[in-house]
Amino acid sequence: MQVWRVNTRQKNDTIEACPQSWERLGGRGLVARILLDEVKPDCDALGKYNKLILAPGLLVGHKLSSCDRISFGGKSPLTGGVKEANAGGITALNLVSLGIKALILEDLPEDDKWFILHISKSGVRFESADDLIGLGVYQSTEILLNRYGKHVSLALIGPCGERQYLAAGIMNLDKDQNPSRIAARGGLGALMGSKKIKAMVIDAQQGEKPPILDAERYKQAQKTFTQALKDHPQTKIYHDYGTNAMPGMSDGFGGMPTRNFSAGHFEGLEKIRGETMREMLIERDGEGKPSHACMPGCIIQCSNVYADENGKTIVSPLEYETVGLLGANLGIDDLDTIARLNWECNDLGLDTIDTGAALGVAAEAGLLKFGDGKRALELIHEIRQNTILGRVLGNGAAIAGKVLGVTHVPVVKGQAMSAYEPRAIKGTGVTYATSPQGADHTAGLTIRAKVNHLDPSIQANISRNAQINMAGYDSLGACIFAGNGFASAPQTIKELITARYGWEVSDNFLEVLGKETIRLEKEFNRRAGFTSAHDRIPEWMTREPLPPNQSVFDVPERDLDNIFEDLIQKDE
Amino acid sequence: MQVWRVNTRQKNDTIEACPQSWERLGGRGLVARILLDEVKPDCDALGKYNKLILAPGLLVGHKLSSCDRISFGGKSPLTGGVKEANAGGITALNLVSLGIKALILEDLPEDDKWFILHISKSGVRFESADDLIGLGVYQSTEILLNRYGKHVSLALIGPCGERQYLAAGIMNLDKDQNPSRIAARGGLGALMGSKKIKAMVIDAQQGEKPPILDAERYKQAQKTFTQALKDHPQTKIYHDYGTNAMPGMSDGFGGMPTRNFSAGHFEGLEKIRGETMREMLIERDGEGKPSHACMPGCIIQCSNVYADENGKTIVSPLEYETVGLLGANLGIDDLDTIARLNWECNDLGLDTIDTGAALGVAAEAGLLKFGDGKRALELIHEIRQNTILGRVLGNGAAIAGKVLGVTHVPVVKGQAMSAYEPRAIKGTGVTYATSPQGADHTAGLTIRAKVNHLDPSIQANISRNAQINMAGYDSLGACIFAGNGFASAPQTIKELITARYGWEVSDNFLEVLGKETIRLEKEFNRRAGFTSAHDRIPEWMTREPLPPNQSVFDVPERDLDNIFEDLIQKDE
């Protein structure tokens, strides 16, 4: 596996052997290692010294169920700290087929010309993107697939990434050529935009599957893992309802972010929950699909295709975080409207979480009446039109809060919280507070832990374990739900890695990988100027009780400060 | 001297003896001590745990020339760190006459009712401010003086402070009842606004001059100091030209911020420099005055009254920083226009530095053509109208840069630079980078040091000394120009303090005070989450050469990191 470097100023590339110290890292862990080795932590995130990194996870390449995720990374334009955002789809598979361990985009162009990066066995080509600038993600995808063929994969930005909005992400094709899988968080779309790359086209036709050293051992482990995943009760739940299986549980714990995080129960719950969505899609028939795989080989198939009452696709997929942030958080209980808001965000290349949170803040400022879906669409239109208000909203909830003078802004390190209220699911609140990534449920969701989520005294350890596991999975390229299979058959991780790479790894390789990843991330953040003072839930959430539990976020600060004490401040 | 506490939620107050550990501090040093003792450094700056502190300097009370300044302080809504902003005028004199060592506004109201704080020998009264809300500073002043009499002093906010804009300051009356002296920097007007106090009315009629223990010794020291100040060559310069004596010098060093800090020489220099202004004001006759004292007893009289061609006052005073930021920085070379922009900012209660810098950023984003004064006034009108664009600009340059997607944003710790280009006056750049206050020339201006301002190797020590001296002066209540007198007769500081208070202080009391102040401030910032990574000049200024010197900011980072190494990390 090789490291491909692309200089966006000089418009050239180099292909290097992978340094030894990077070899046993992948995905999120490799992003952190590269950032620490090569990017000045206090640099301007949109300046010439930041780098955009693509790193497939360690397990990527063989269509192991739910294990072909791509990590994007860089210094976050949104948080100013370390950033990794991963996505499903086929980007990682194609990169690995080309033998790419990491693709690193460096430097900044000195003019305003935009390019497409064409990546294949022949190397990297810069091709003009003039005809794509200003176009939405869907139309750009159509043009690119017509130009380069249906076999390529794409990673591209929308108008919001071009404009370097801080809530812009990077869209990736799913296995059906739909640009639906977003590396959403932390403004990496803005980072890609700063380098004037509209799209990466990855043509792996001449590529090949990565070698497996011990095919038989690998096959056995794969079989065990797949069976364990199949047998796990949650696999069927996510298959049937997608991530939108969550509203019932979140709301049941009083943790559904409602009307700009002012309540934990949403009256419109029944209308937006996955169970309702599934029935509706089945009833509507047509193009809608309650279950759909974003990656080839995935047996969970938590994705979906959401169709309107005529059976025509509105968006694919419609996920829980979007239903939470663009739905309940805006008081909107109509799935069709939420799906349309989602399509707009996808087309613009925007993180629906930070955008939904920004709209919630705008609602509190009086720019939107909670529940008014038409107005919400108008506000998204402001973003599309690049008006000043649109720019305020497209830069995410933290900026929107500052400009609009709103106190109730649900962010940590400048990044919006996902659809789990930290005052009700306090372990996830600990994750929001202490993850080097900023507020992000995927960094360590605790809602399925069988504990009292309101008890502040027990959350730190639950969050810590979740964070370490997730950092490990994010480095393997495994999706959060693949973790259910690995949790039932933990030895398969070692087996798969050893069979494929021939490495002698410990039984707790997942934990080792997770701890190392977080250690590297914390160290990058430390050098970037982060301290424990930044590992805090917003003050108003520690004071204002959340109905219906009337709970505040009251996990002791010392628990937050000590959570990774054993990992940090080691030699570097 | 006593500590008066006002609870803005309970609408009551308490009067306490001054704690011993606060006694020998005043002004900026006392602000830092109180913040460290009483305000949680990671609190929400606009939340209930922040406090707005008024602390007169140690020398305030006897109309010693240029030594009656008032320090306002709190955790900065703009920078998130320690903040002190001081002003001339008569606020400090009146507070000291009432025996007030520190006035501390605490907590937050739970409703939207606005109040005036009436402060007198009878204590503190809350009176409704309903009729003042939304009114500009000038009209509010007129109403308040009619209501409470011409003898009171005022500290009040404009519409921008009410709206908690991050560039809002606190306006104070000068000795002629003109609300012209602004505690400008760091958003303390927003802090006052968060506590729903529109104005503080200080009635010192029943007050009395503070005691002097050894009147004869004091008189002698005062005489020596006054003579030294009179004899200093700069006293006449500032008397004649005000702070606007500076353009020639700044521009001469290639350090005049021009067109959003893209050049260090302004072609319109001759039209805006103080020499021209003085001639114009004398020629125009009428209400204009090239020299004017903001405080009773000031012999420098660096203030002025700026009149239009009919001799009618436009604004008082027109100062160098405003000429720099709202003039050269916007490519505007017309003093009348700059004066009108200044009046608007004063009336809105806005820092002209951060507002000018925000407009410069807006110009770079294409919202204003450099040199177009009419359009600049329109943009200020957007602020007055509280439009979204107005809110973006009124929140200062850092927010404007984020929203408008501009790279060239001249801020440190979120606060705009003053009118000294750090690439040309590198010592002042060191001050911008390392002052706990954020970018601020008053924290340690180095332009008068007789050194090569372009030599990066020698700037740290020059800045350090300037910063320590200024922190000392800010704690004494002495204005920057009073320092010229003290520099010629340094022993008078000890004499004045000992004669007045009876304290045995060391010969280097100014330095002791300055060091202690910075130590406290650095410690507050450390706990608030600041590290050396925040002590940096924006990256683009380290890469993009500034004409005409073609210099970059290249003071070594280790010099920035070590500048206060001996002061910090002591026991707390």
DSSP A179-237: EEEEE-GGGHHHHHHHTTEEEEEE--TT--PPP-S-HHHHHHHHHHHHHHHHHSHHHHH
Contact B206, B100 (CB under 8 A): no
Closest chain A residue to the Cα of B557, Cα to Cα = A42
Q: What is the pLDDT of residues A26-53, one digit of tens each?
A: 999 999 999 999 999 999 999 999 999 9
Do B391 and A399 make contact, defined as CB atoms within 8 angstroms? no
pLDDT at A569 over 70: no
Measured between alpha carbons, how far is residue A48 from residues A39, A106, A395 in Å? 10, 7, 21
Question: Is the minimum CB–CB distance between B266 and chain A shorter than 8 Å?
Answer: no
Q: How close is the nearest chain B Cα to the Cα of A432, in Å?
A: 17
Q: Which of B:396-455 have CB within 8 Å of A?
A: 399, 402-405, 407
Do B399 and A395 make contact, defined as CB atoms within 8 angstroms? no
Mean of per-residue pLDDT scores for chain B: 97
- The phi and psi torsions of A307 (rounded to 5 degrees) equal -115, 155
- Helical ranges in B56-99 per DSSP H: 91-97
Instruction: Compute, in degrees rounded to 10, the torsion defined by CA atoms B444, B448, B450, B455.
Output: 60
Q: Compute CA B461 distance to the chain's CA centroid, rounded to the nearest angstrom.
A: 23
Contact A419, A321 (CB under 8 A): yes
Q: What is the pLDDT of residues B323-335, one digit of tens each?
A: 999 999 999 999 9
Question: Is the minimum CB–CB distance between A164 and chain B shorter than 8 Å?
Answer: yes
pLDDT at B52 over 50: yes
Rounded CA Rg of chain B: 22
Question: Is the minimum CB–CB distance between B538 and chain A shorter than 8 Å?
Answer: yes
Question: Is the minimum CB–CB distance between B543 and chain A shorter than 8 Å?
Answer: yes
Q: What is the pLDDT of residues A326-340, one digit of tens each?
A: 999 999 999 999 999
Closest chain B residue to the Cα of A362, Cα to Cα = B388
DSSP conformational letter for A243: G
Closest chain B residue to the Cα of A78, Cα to Cα = B402
Contact B493, B67 (CB under 8 A): no
Instruction: Give B509-549 as a DSSP string.
Output: HHHHHHHHHHHHHHHHHHHHT--GGGS---HHHHHSPBTTT
pLDDT at B5 over 60: yes
Q: Which residues from chain B sit within 8 angstroms of residue A538, using beta carbons?
A: 44
Sheet hosting strand A303-307, strand order edge to edge: A289-292, A303-307, A313-315
How far apart CA A196 and CA A204 sit, in angstroms, is: 23
Contact A357, A330 (CB under 8 A): no
Size of interface A-B (CB pairs under 8 A): 82
Do B529 and A527 make contact, defined as CB atoms within 8 angstroms? no
Q: Which residues from chain A sit within 8 angstroms of residue B399, using beta carbons?
A: 399, 402-403
Instruction: Compute, in degrees rounded to 10, the torsion defined by CA atoms B153, B157, B158, B163.
Output: -170
Do A534 and B531 make contact, defined as CB atoms within 8 angstroms? no
In B229-335, where do the E strands start and end? 289-292, 303-307, 313-315
pLDDT at A264 over 60: yes
Closest chain A residue to the Cα of B165, Cα to Cα = A405
pLDDT at A570 over 90: no
Q: What is the pLDDT of residues B155-213, one digit of tens each?
A: 999 999 999 999 999 999 999 999 999 999 999 999 999 999 999 999 999 999 999 99
Q: Given A395, A402, A529, which is nearest B166 (Cβ)?
A: A402
Closest chain A residue to the Cα of B46, Cα to Cα = A407
Do B392 and A388 make contact, defined as CB atoms within 8 angstroms? yes
Percent of chain A with pLDDT over 90: 99
Contact B269, B277 (CB under 8 A): no
Question: Is the minimum CB–CB distance between A527 and chain B shorter than 8 Å?
Answer: yes
Run of H or E including B200: strand B197-202
Give me the residue label for tokens 């991050």. Answer: B166
pLDDT at A572 over 60: no
| pLDDT tier at B572, thresholds 50, 70, 90 | very low
Report helix, strand or coil for B423: coil
pLDDT at A571 over 50: no
Burial class (CB within 10 angstroms; exposed 0-12, middle 13-18, buried 19+) of B313: middle
Residue B498 CB contacts under 8 Å (≥ 6 apart), including other chains: B214, B217, B504, B505
Do A407 and B163 make contact, defined as CB atoms within 8 angstroms? no
Do A529 and B528 make contact, defined as CB atoms within 8 angstroms? no
Q: Given A43, A392, A531, which is nearest B392 (Cβ)?
A: A392
pLDDT at B379 over 60: yes
Q: Given A41, A164, A533, which is nearest B528 (Cβ)?
A: A533
pLDDT at B96 over 50: yes
Q: Which residues from chain A sit within 8 angstroms of residue B41, using beta carbons?
A: 533
Percent of chain B with pLDDT over 70: 99
- The phi and psi torsions of B382 (rounded to 5 degrees) equal -60, -40
Amino acid at B422: P
Closest chain A residue to the Cα of B541, Cα to Cα = A44
Q: How close is the nearest chain B Cα to the Cα of A158, in Å?
A: 16
Q: Which of B403, B552, B560, B569 to mutate to test the interface with A (most CBs of A within 10 A)?
A: B403
Question: Is the minimum CB–CB distance between B48 and chain A shorter than 8 Å?
Answer: yes
Do B540 and A47 make contact, defined as CB atoms within 8 angstroms? yes
Q: What is the pLDDT of residue B569?
A: 58
Averaged over A89-115, what is the pLDDT?
97
Closest chain B residue to the Cα of A557, Cα to Cα = B42
Measured between alpha carbons, how far is residue A499 from residues A19, A20, A30 in Å? 21, 19, 21
Q: Given B41, B403, B540, which is nearest A399 (Cβ)?
A: B403
Q: What is the pLDDT of residue B568?
A: 73
Q: Given B42, B49, B539, which is nearest A536 (Cβ)?
A: B42
| pLDDT tier at A100, thresholds 50, 70, 90 | very high
Contact A300, A88 (CB under 8 A): no
Q: Given B388, B399, B529, which is nearest A534 (Cβ)?
A: B529
Q: Which residues from chain B sit within 8 angstroms of residue A534, using beta carbons?
A: 529
Do B402 and A389 make contact, defined as CB atoms within 8 angstroms? no
Contact A165, A350 (CB under 8 A): yes
Instruction: Give B15-39 as a DSSP string.
Output: EEEPPHHHHT--HHHHHHHHHHHHS
Averaged over B395-409, what is the pLDDT?
98
Report helix, strand or coil for B154: strand
Give me the residue label for tokens 């340690």. Answer: B444
Question: Is the minimum CB–CB distance between A544 and chain B shorter than 8 Å?
Answer: no
Contact A113, A221 (CB under 8 A): no
Q: Which of A354, A388, A542 to mutate to test the interface with B (most CBs of B within 10 A)?
A: A388
Do A403 and B405 make contact, defined as CB atoms within 8 angstroms? no
Run of H or E including B119: strand B115-120
Structure tokens, A177: 């050529």
Closest chain A residue to the Cα of B525, Cα to Cα = A533
Report helix, strand or coil for A411: strand
Structure tokens, A83: 């950033």
Do B533 and A528 make contact, defined as CB atoms within 8 angstroms? yes
pTM (global) more than 0.90: yes
Mean of per-residue pLDDT scores for chain A: 97
pLDDT at B557 over 70: yes
Do B47 and A403 make contact, defined as CB atoms within 8 angstroms? no
Q: What is the pLDDT of residues B267-290, one digit of tens each?
A: 999 999 999 999 999 999 899 999
- The phi and psi torsions of B375 (rounded to 5 degrees) equal -65, -35
Q: How close is the nearest chain A Cα to the Cα of B458, in Å?
A: 24
Q: How close is the nearest chain A Cα to the Cα of B369, in Å?
A: 17
Closest chain B residue to the Cα of A81, Cα to Cα = B533
Q: Buried b / exposed e across A521-531, counting CB within 10 Å, b at 16+?
A: bbbbbbbbbbb
Contact B202, B89 (CB under 8 A): no
> How many Cβ atoms sit within 10 Å of the Cβ of residue A241?
23
Contact B89, B182 (CB under 8 A): no
Do A531 and B531 make contact, defined as CB atoms within 8 angstroms? yes
Instruction: Compute, in degrees rounded to 10, the torsion defined by CA atoms A195, A43, A477, A87.
Output: -50
Residue B58 CB contacts under 8 Å (≥ 6 apart), including other chains: B24, B25, B26, B27, B475, B476, B477, B497, B501, B513
Closest chain B residue to the Cα of A161, Cα to Cα = B405
Structure tokens, B496: 């004045």
- Max alpha carbon distance in chain B (Å)? 62
Contact A410, A261 (CB under 8 A): yes
Closest chain A residue to the Cα of B49, Cα to Cα = A539
Contact A208, A149 (CB under 8 A): no
Count CA atoms within 13 Å of residue B473 on its CB side. Answer: 27
Give the CA angle between residues A508, A514, A517 to the nearest 5°: 140
Q: Given B44, B48, B388, which is nearest A389 (Cβ)?
A: B388
Q: What is the pLDDT of residues B511-551, one digit of tens each?
A: 999 999 999 999 999 999 999 999 999 999 999 999 999 99
Closest chain B residue to the Cα of A530, Cα to Cα = B529
| pLDDT tier at A568, thresholds 50, 70, 90 | confident
Q: How close is the nearest chain B Cα to the Cα of A436, in Å?
A: 14
Do A529 and B534 make contact, defined as CB atoms within 8 angstroms? yes
Instruction: Give A271-307 as a DSSP string.
Output: HHSHHHHHHHHHHH-TT-EEEE-SSTT-SS-BEEEEE
